[in-house]
């Protein structure tokens, strides 16, 4: 399969499918595919006739000190994996196709796009929201699939769809994990030596914190204990926070369903993960 590089070619193909009555799902990715991406493609295939996967390492969502230049890239391997997973079209625009000379309009999400990742990654959600909105407009897809692995991103995209009246359904997919619980991520390739094993501690601590909350531990105590353990296990803790699962507003003092989100650093690698929790006092 030859990837489509330009919006014009993309639209020509997708218009043909639409005229034939086909519904279309979009699965945005930055490549270096793993089973998490494949779960998204499966969810897309269950919902629509045609599946478009995008493959674009978006420079706009990397801060100058981040890993844009060394982000794992394997276009030929990714295209073969997409095909194997049942993708109908791979859209792999070049940077200049996505951001032509003179490009000057961006989306800046407030609300769920503030705090957490945004406090540690300058311009990240503006880069994500801008490219995701462009992909939505370029494909006119009926459905787009996103992973819960990047929970804040999922909420930011859902918020953007609501705020800007976009005609697209966002489908969330549960995080796919390695056997030891580590959330699959293209960046796990950076974890060498002991770090790969140490990385699994993140999910373990999140799950044990969930267990403590289930057992009735007050949320502030559970979070304090978890931060202490994370600090022992990792080189730095960027945040550990209990949030409302829909708006991402602070949830420590509420009862019922919440999301526990975390980012830590291990060597030069940043790990993020999150789990659903129930805060004591709720039904």
Active site residues: 37
Give the footprint of ligand AMP on residues 117-146 (CB under 6 A).
Answer: 146
Q: Of residues 54, 130, 152, 175, which one binds ligand AMP by CB under 6 A?
A: 175
Q: Of residues 4, 24, 36, 135, which one binds ligand AMP by CB under 6 A?
A: 36
Question: Could you say whether residue 173 binds ligand AMP (CB under 6 A)?
Answer: yes
For 148, the 3-state DSSP assignment is helix
Question: Could you say whether residue 30 binds ligand AMP (CB under 6 A)?
Answer: yes
Compute the least distance from the CB of residue 171 to ligand AMP, in Å: 10
Alpha-carbon torsion 137, 139, 143, 148, what sign? Answer: negative
Question: Could you say whether residue 261 binds ligand AMP (CB under 6 A)?
Answer: no
Q: Of residues 10, 98, 161, 184, which one binds ligand AMP by CB under 6 A?
A: 184
How far CA 171 is from CA of 26, 41, 49, 142, 149, in Å, comes to 10, 11, 15, 11, 13
Question: Could you say whether residue 40 binds ligand AMP (CB under 6 A)?
Answer: yes
- Spatial strand order in the sheet of 143-147: 89-91, 50-55, 24-29, 143-147, 169-173
Q: Cβ(192)–Cβ(173) under 8 Å?
A: no
**For residue 105, which phi and psi values (nearest 5 degrees)?**
-115, 125
Half-sphere exposure of 180 (CA within 13 A, CB side): 9
Q: Of residues 147, 188, 200, 243, which one binds ligand AMP by CB under 6 A?
A: 147
> Which residues bind to ligand AMP, rule: CB under 6 A?
29-30, 36-37, 39-40, 146-147, 149-150, 173, 175-176, 183-186
């Amino acid at each position: 399969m030859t990837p489509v590089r330009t919006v014009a070619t993309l639209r020509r193909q997708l218009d043909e499918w639409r005229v034939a009555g086909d519904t279309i799902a979009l699965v945005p990715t930055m490549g270096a595919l793993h089973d998490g991406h494949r779960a998204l493609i499966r969810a897309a295939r269950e919902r629509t006739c045609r599946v478009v996967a995008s493959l674009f390492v978006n420079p706009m969502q990397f801060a100058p000190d981040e890993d844009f230049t060394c982000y794992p890239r394997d276009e030929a391997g990714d295209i073969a994996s997409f095909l194997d997973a049942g993708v109908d079209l791979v859209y792999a625009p070049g940077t200049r196709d996505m951001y032509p000379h003179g490009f000057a309009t961006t989306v800046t999400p407030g609300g769920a796009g503030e705090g957490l990742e945004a406090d540690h990654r300058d311009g990240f959600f503006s880069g994500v929201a801008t490219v995701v909105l462009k992909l939505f407009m370029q494909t006119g897809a009926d459905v787009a699939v996103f992973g819960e692995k990047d929970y804040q991103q999922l909420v930011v995209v859902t918020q953007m769809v609501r705020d800007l009246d976009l005609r697209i359904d966002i489908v969330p997919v549960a995080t796919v994990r390695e056997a030891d619980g580590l959330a699959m991520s293209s960046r796990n390739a950076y974890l060498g030596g002991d770090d790969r094993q140490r990385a699994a501690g993140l999910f373990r601590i999140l799950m044990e914190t969930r267990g403590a909350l289930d057992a009735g531990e007050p949320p502030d105590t559970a979070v304090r204990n978890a931060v202490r353990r994370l600090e022992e296990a990792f080189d730095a803790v960027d945040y550990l926070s209990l949030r409302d699962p829909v708006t991402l507003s602070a949830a420590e003092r509420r009862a019922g369903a919440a999301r526990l989100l975390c980012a830590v650093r291990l060597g030069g690698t940043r790990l993020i993960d999150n789990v659903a929790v129930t805060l004591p006092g709720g039904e």
